[in-house]
Structure 1
Amino acid sequence: MNRIQQLFDRKRENILSVYFTAGYPALDTTREIIGELQQQGADMIEIGIPFSDPMADGEVIQNAATQALRNGMSLHKLFAQLHDIRSEVDIPLILMGYLNPVMQYGFENFCRSCRETGIDGMIIPDLPFKDYLEKYKAIAEKYDLDVIMLVTPETSEERIRLIDENTGGFIYMVSSAATTGAQQSFDEAKQEYFHRIAAMNLRNPRLIGFGISNRETFDTACRNASGAIIGSQFVKLLAQETPAKAVARLLEMIGKK
């Protein structure tokens, strides 16, 4: 049982997972940001692999990825930075990135490096679910890695149940079909979607992401799932503050401090 499953076994509500882009705002801040997130109370961390064409991401994360690449970040460099990270951090760590860099690295090599550095899972938004089932599921399972799949308001019940049956960790509920980015509140249509998925009684726990930026959106996500994923709002704060202050400010904004 990996750390993601252990987390959900001991905590089923108000989970905070935080995303940041590796290599941003500076090339060498990755470990510092991870350390601060754990120290100040994040439950899980998603480490973004910068890519030149991040199609699911809004302007904030796109700009962060561009800057990270200019800073010299690469997948090889990220794994080097994460070497021995488990001597400092024990909460779940997930790598989130697009298929192109992972395929260039080699999928099995990628899984092997994840295992060696203590990564618990991956989110690859542009990995087709059919390809995952046919080509990659067995390899990921060999290295005890959860492949987290995204569902949106447009995802059919049949597809959601298929994802639930064939993946572990949790289901990433995207709050809307749009790109990432902060929102002030969730409208009635989004909340109806949250209720519809909750009523499906899925095997896997759920986290809601895209648009979580303040106490209202965080609390709404936590009422409708096991917790929330915050990305763009934290990346914005990292551009303005030291990692320690950015984490503290984020927790204050969502009412966890």
Structure 2
Amino acid sequence: METSSISVIEQDGHGVPAQKITRAFERAHAEKRGVLIPYFMCGYPGIKASVDVILAAAEGGAEIIELGMPFSDPLADGATIQHAGHIALENGMSIQGCMEIAKQVSARCDATLLLMGYYNPVLSYGLERFCAAARANGVSGLIIPDLPVEEADPLQAAAYRHGLALIFLVPPTAPDERIAMAAQRTTAGPGGFIYCVSLSGVTGSRQELPAHLQSFIARIRAATQEHPLPLAVGFGLSTPEHIASVTSYAEGAVVGSALVKLIEQHQADDPAAAVKTYIQSLQKQ
């Protein structure tokens, strides 16, 4: 089913969106570096300002960017991202608003965009409608933190029909069988990577990386050897040293809460300039 649907998408002249993810990792591999993946909450600190900071990250060198969709009950988010989501909702941000932000960003830069958010609003919006809108507005993939791999069939089918990657999160507590299932599902689609959650619990920047992280990544490599994929590490990363360390044994590194804090600190002056400088600094270690 997926193969024939993807072939139809290729005929429209725009290619398969998820292949942008693959190309970003291939470029980084050829240049012997990792892929930095910043996260931004759509609508925070304001609707226009969120577009500005996302574009600033792209100007700073970010090739893949996560666009957060605010939700009223964000169980996996720490206090920083919860606060940003609350402000975004107060600003009137909705799924349609997130699509509009993606449209504006994709029209002005070539960064690969991923929508990240919880399953219930996506389900309420309509899976097919959501995936069609994501593709139409320049999105290449979806990250749904509360969607277990065993229950992903309906969204996976819709995403793959529209050439979108469905990216699964793998926490340290995941058994090898579930890791292998996530890899198998990802390689059956048009592109993507495995999102390795560095620690159990909620998001939030931390001073030190978990001691078990490198061995956890090695376990994922072993569990996915039949379906090798890029691995990106997220949750808790905030410094150039973190990024350098993680990308010495994984293909990508995700930064979220630290960016949200930075934007909050610079709301009164120029958050976009601060974001661009920070993104550049993370890649200089």
Q: With the length of structure 2 as denominator, give the TM-score of the two structures.
A: 0.85
2:27 aligns to what? 10
- Quote the Cα distance in structure 2 between the aligned partners of 1:115 and 1:156: 32
Match of 2:200 among 177, 182, 192: 177
Is the contact made by 1:213 and 1:253 (CA closer than 8 Å) also made in structure 2? no
Shift of 1:253: 5.1
Matched residue of 1:110: which SS?
helix
Matched, 1:113 2:133: yes
1:207 aligns to what? 232
1:189 aligns to what? 212
Shift of 1:196: 2.4
Aligned CA distance change for structure 1 residues 82 and 215 (closer, same or farther; 3 Å): closer
Shift of 1:173: 0.2
Off by >4 Å, runs of 4+ in structure 1 = none
Match of 1:128 among 148, 151, 155: 148
Is the contact made by 1:140 and 1:147 (CA closer than 8 Å) also made in structure 2? yes
Q: Which is worse superposed, 215-224 or 99-108?
A: 215-224
Shift of 1:220: 1.8
Matched residue of 2:155: which SS?
helix
Residue-pair matches, total? 256
1:137 aligns to what? 156
Is the contact made by 2:42 and 2:98 (CA closer than 8 Å) also made in structure 1? yes
Shift of 1:152: 0.9
1:238 aligns to what? 263
- Quote the Cα distance in structure 1 between the aligned partners of 2:272 and 2:207: 24
Shift of 1:81: 3.3
Matched, 1:89 2:89: no
Aligned CA distance change for structure 1 residues 252 and 119 (closer, same or farther; 3 Å): closer
Shift of 1:23: 0.4
Is the contact made by 2:198 and 2:210 (CA closer than 8 Å) also made in structure 1? no
Gap regions ≥5 residues in structure 1:
none
Matched, 1:147 2:166: yes
Is the contact made by 2:149 and 2:181 (CA closer than 8 Å) also made in structure 1? no
1:58 aligns to what? 78
- TM-superposition CA deviations, 1:41-82 (whole Å, max 9, x none): 112100000011111110000000001111111111222333
Is the contact made by 2:55 and 2:105 (CA closer than 8 Å) also made in structure 1? no
- Quote the Cα distance in structure 1 between the aligned partners of 2:210 and 2:156: 35
Is the contact made by 1:198 and 1:224 (CA closer than 8 Å) also made in structure 2? no
Shift of 1:83: 3.0
- Quote the Cα distance in structure 2 between the aligned partners of 1:247 and 1:192: 31
Gap regions ≥5 residues in structure 2:
1-15
2:221 aligns to what? 198
Q: What code does the residue aligned with 2:174 have?
A: T
- TM-superposition CA deviations, 1:195-233 (whole Å, max 9, x none): 322344351100000000112221221112002000000
- Quote the Cα distance in structure 2 between the aligned partners of 1:246 and 1:105: 34
1:79 aligns to what? 99
Q: What code does the residue aligned with 1:158 have?
A: E
- Quote the Cα distance in structure 2 between the aligned partners of 1:187 and 1:170: 21
2:282 aligns to what? 254
- TM-superposition CA deviations, 1:6-49 (whole Å, max 9, x none): 11222233210000100001122232122111111112100000
Q: What code does the residue aligned with 1:211 have?
A: G
Matched residue of 1:198: which SS?
helix
Q: What is the RMSD of the two structures over their aligned residues, measured on CA atoms? A: 1.7
Q: What code does the residue aligned with 2:165 have?
A: D
Is the contact made by 2:42 and 2:50 (CA closer than 8 Å) also made in structure 1? yes
1:29 aligns to what? 49
- Quote the Cα distance in structure 2 between the aligned partners of 1:98 and 1:88: 27
2:180 aligns to what? 161
Is the contact made by 2:60 and 2:280 (CA closer than 8 Å) also made in structure 1? no
Q: Structure 1 vs Structure 2: percent identity of aligned residues? A: 39
Q: What code does the residue aligned with 1:208 have?
A: V
Aligned CA distance change for structure 1 residues 7 and 255 (closer, same or farther; 3 Å): closer
Q: What code does the residue aligned with 1:21 have?
A: M
